[in-house]
Amino acid sequence: MKKYLYLAAAGSALLMASCENSEQTQTTTPTEPAEVQTQAIAQPTVQEAKEFLETSAVEIADLSHKAGTIYWVNSNFITEDTNNLAAQVGAEAALLSTRLANEAKRFNDLTLPADMARKLDGLKRGSNFPAPDKPGAAKELATLMTDLNSAYSQGKFAYKTDIAELAKFYEEDANAALTLEQLSDIIAKSRNPEELQAVWEGWRTISPPMRKDYVRMVDIINEGSRELGFKDTGALWRAGYDMPADDFTKEADRLWSQVKPLYDELHCHVRAKLNDEYGDEVVPLDQPIRADLLGNMWGQSWGNIYDLVKPEGEDVNIDVTALLDKAGYDEIKMVKVGEEFFTSLGFDPLPDTFWERSLFVRPKDRDVVCHASAWDIDNEDDIRIKMCIKIDGEDFNVIHHELGHNFYQRAYKNQPIYYKNGANDGFHEAIGDMIALSITPDYLVKVGLLDADDVPDASADLNILMRQALDKIAFLPFSLVVDQWRWNVFNGEYTSEAYNSGWWELRTKYQGLRAPGDRPANAFDPGAKFHIPGNTPYMRYFLAHILQFQFHKAACDIAGNEGPLHRCSIYGNKEVGARFDTMMKMGASRPWPEALDAFTGTDTMDGSAIVEYFTPLITYLKEENKDRKCGW
């Protein structure tokens, strides 16, 4: 089983143990059980290592399949009982990955063929949420992780909005507590700062009860990470990129410095426009922006406030939500059209089981994990998505994102289990996003959503780019904050008392945002973002936002595109599909620079494609900002 997101990652992380790691021997010396040391003295052979890898592969595949079905049921039907089942299998998975990591160390002194060494390195990295090797630890960890994940998904807050178009929420029960999707709808559409603040603060009442479990979980996985030979869990995570952990930190900093100037211009412009809307008191021009005014519950993508910040003049932006509505799309039709993009590139259609087993709509009668995810239950053909689809442009993109995971999973299904993964986790998140960058006006005509006469001419380019930048550029610093915060939690810099102040320190530093009001003493705002209680590393999304533009540019080059990147659609291009497939089929079998090279002809992650994509907008923003005082 493997799923993106890794919800109860102690189990699924078994399969994340697939990339090379040279870091772990460079940090602290792992404490090895006496029994393992004895075996090491017995000088194992290459043949024994081979046999160990073979038997381990079977154990991993079997447990992964079993865990996949259990996690699927738990996520589709959250109850006390399914939580217990998930915690049990999570504990089994944690025990297995810890045991295999320790056993793999027996072969440390052998000179092995590179492929075997790569597989063993993956095993020795254990999981992203490793349990220490002592009685009870795996079960305690898996229980904490399951409870955190389920608590988030059951979160609700009672609020009554006056916005008429949202009143349908209350059709059945006037006092109903609202789900995250409903609260998010208010954040997207309301332009009343008091209401925005109330809803934003309301959602954050779900997380203070999670703090105690989170603190305990951190203690356990840090201990587990140290046993694996890493100084803390952050170092373990950073070691998953085919380079020493410290080099990865520098790599992330380098990429951020390439794209930060784009964000600074966008921030300055958006703040000025919000100031026009809300005035000096709500949006002072020399302060970080209030996080509840940006159209998204976490201020991570700002497309929903496009109407407030769009360039002057005729509005020719393509409103995909309106087009879907006009064409009478339902949830399944949206997924079908997403699938058709992939088949247009030469990929096989999704199996019947995908359609039979996926979840597309939030069920009314039970709690489910609604945060979108893609699953690979049996590491073969049983791929599925689980989403509570809204019929709008945002979820049209998310569908492509999730299908990207599924098509990647199927592309590498013939790899050994150790390599059934992305080249790095950023690749996995970038595949579907890269496809969604090809949802251009011309593409929308081809699939019958837009009339050819309505395709905007070049005068609309700034509008199109602005809409895109609000999502893609705004996201970049947010995606850094989440794991900068976790890295600081794991390394002890943020103790439990500093969890929330540390979070806001980073939100201000990277994003230039602030909370709408004082936060209560017990606030645990990071816990109100899925990936913290859902225990999914987040740096992958930062990488994906760099990589997807690199992929898009490479694809457009292969397609012989001569126009601007934001007008390029690779829809229907089999040559691009074949080259993409070459990279995807590799899975994690080779270090990621080789996979990147196979598709793009370069082995370096690089922000210049995203910079090129947005250059006309940045020129416009610089002009708009020239008499403004930017920064915070």
Which positions touch Zn ion (CB under 5 A)? Answer: 4, 429
Supply the minimum distance, in Å, between the C-beta of residue 65 and ligand X8Z.
21
> Which tokens is 461 given?
């380019």
Query: What string of DSSP letters covers 242-260?
Result: SS-HHHHHHHHHHHHHHHH
207 binds, among ligand X8Z, Zn ion, none (CB under 5 to 8 A by kind): none
Catalytic residue (one of 269, 400, 401, 531): 531
Closest CB to ligand X8Z among residues 24, 406: 406
Closest CB to ligand X8Z among residues 408, 541: 541
Query: What string of DSSP letters covers 496-522?
Result: GGGHHHHHHHHIIIII-EE-SSPPPTT
Supply the minimum distance, in Å, between the C-beta of residue 209 and ligand X8Z.
22
Supply the minimum distance, in Å, between the C-beta of residue 426 and ligand X8Z.
11
Closest CB to ligand X8Z among residues 241, 375: 375
Residue whose beta carbon is closest to ligand X8Z: 372
Cα separation, 401 vs 404, in Å, equals 5
Nearest to 71 by CA among 368, 452, 388: 368
Per-residue burial over 109-123, b = 16 or more CB atoms within 10 Å of its CB, e = otherwise: ebebeeebebbbbbb
Would strands 2-4 and 289-290 be described as parallel, antiparallel, or unpaired? unpaired
Supply the minimum distance, in Å, between the C-beta of residue 480 and ligand X8Z.
12
> What does the DSSP 8-state code read for residue 288?
P
Element spanning 157, H or E = strand 157-158
Closest CB to ligand X8Z among residues 32, 292: 292
Closest CB to ligand X8Z among residues 197, 373: 373
Distances (CA, A) of 400 to 188, 372, 373, 612: 21, 11, 11, 23
Closest CB to ligand X8Z among residues 398, 465: 398
Supply the minimum distance, in Å, between the C-beta of residue 191 and ligand X8Z.
24
Supply the minimum distance, in Å, between the C-beta of residue 406 and ligand X8Z.
12
> Which tokens is 73 given?
């049921």
- Beta-carbon contacts of 411 under 8 Å, excluding residues fewer than 6 positions away, are 347, 581, 584, 585, 587
238 binds, among ligand X8Z, Zn ion, none (CB under 5 to 8 A by kind): none
398 binds, among Zn ion, ligand X8Z, none (CB under 5 to 8 A by kind): ligand X8Z
223 is catalytic: no
Tell me how far the alpha carbon of residue 372 is from its chain's centroid.
10
Catalytic residue (one of 201, 223, 339, 402): 402
402 is catalytic: yes
Contacts with ligand X8Z by CB under 6 A lie at 4-5, 372-373, 398, 401, 541
Cα separation, 347 vs 341, in Å, equals 9
Please list the active-site residues: 402, 531
